[in-house]
Amino acid sequence: MAPIRLRHPKGVTTLQIDVDNASVLDLQQQIYAATDIPPSQQDLKSGYPPQSLTLIPELPLASLGLKGGDQLTLIQQAGASSAPFTASPPRPSAPSSAAPRSSAPQAALPSVGATHAQGPYSVPTEGGYLVHRIVPDDNSCLFSSIALIFEQDMGKAPMIRQIVADAIRKDPETWSDAILGRPREEYISTILKPSTWGGAIELTILASHYSTEIASVDVETGRVDHFTPPPARDSGNRCILVYSGIHYDAATLAPMLEAPAEFHQTVVPITMEGDSDAVVVAAKKLADILRSKRAYTNMATFTLRCQVCKKGLKGEKEARSHATETGHVEFGEY
């Protein structure tokens, strides 16, 4: 464990964290415990002059370049909701498609409520309408969304998993045990299982494979994470995913609202870098609509109850730990 000094609106706190083995989310959750500022509202700065850190919860803490004794400054972002998702009453669980909040693939948490509001919704933009394309809650939502975008067939999700597995197997230097968070062969075996979630690692690999930027808009915060291919492989195109905290959907461009799916454009040229591109602006507006319907789940703060032993739990991390310790895999949100 190493000390990280945190300046925040309530004062100064020294955090003790395993900088070599922790994830970015682990740091964010410690900050939340100390400050009551949820991960979705945390803007962390380091260095001199202070520079904002890019916080991708799934990645190892090492991705931020922090070391023991470093000092961070926390600024609370305005406008992001800190309220957890309000779900329907707890029910017997069926696995829910989701992105893991760790760098390694995970067996899926049981369903804890709806992952999207009624829809699909759409936003007008240049060239037509950006349409929310809902995919099934079957633990393969990331892979189904990518299959819909690049293969025009959600049923090819297993093929997308194989692409990820092959890429990791072929590049042990980039995808080392340390980056994956577990032995490579174990990671490969796990990601091929239909019950396993995907996240930042998978999106990075798939952006490279398809030579296309994958822009993922977070419903709760409106933040856009850009997963870009290497410059030598960059086609200059982009696609859009919509992330609710426990689910990925796709978003595609329709020439008119009533246009059938086969007329949708799933990959679009990048006309401007970053979040100023018209399609990215439309994606953020789509997230605004879904946020207004409370169609998201805050993975660090939502509360669950084990349906087997009735123990109360907070967040994905506690639920996974409880499942590992007890073998109980039925949860309901409350």
Distances (CA, A) of 255 to 59, 126, 261, 264, 279: 37, 10, 10, 7, 13
Write down the catalytic residue from 116, 132, 137, 141: 141
Give the Cβ contact number of residue 274 at 10 Å.
10
**Among residues 8, 116, 132, 247, which one is catalytic?**
247
Contacts of 87 (CB under 8 A, 6+ apart): 112, 113, 114, 297, 333
3-state secondary structure of 46: strand
Partners of 306 in beta bridges: 331
Catalytic site residue from 43, 138, 275, 288: 138
> Is residue 306 among the annotated active site residues?
no
* 272-277, long-range: CB < 8 A, 24+ apart: 274/226, 275/224, 277/238
264 is catalytic: no
Q: Is 247 assigned a catalytic role? A: yes
Cα–Cα dist 168/175, whole Å: 6
Distance of alpha carbon 55 from alpha carbon 101, whole angstroms: 12
Judge whether 328 counts as a catalytic residue.
yes
Helix, strand, or coil (residue 12): strand
Active site amino acids: 138, 141, 247, 328
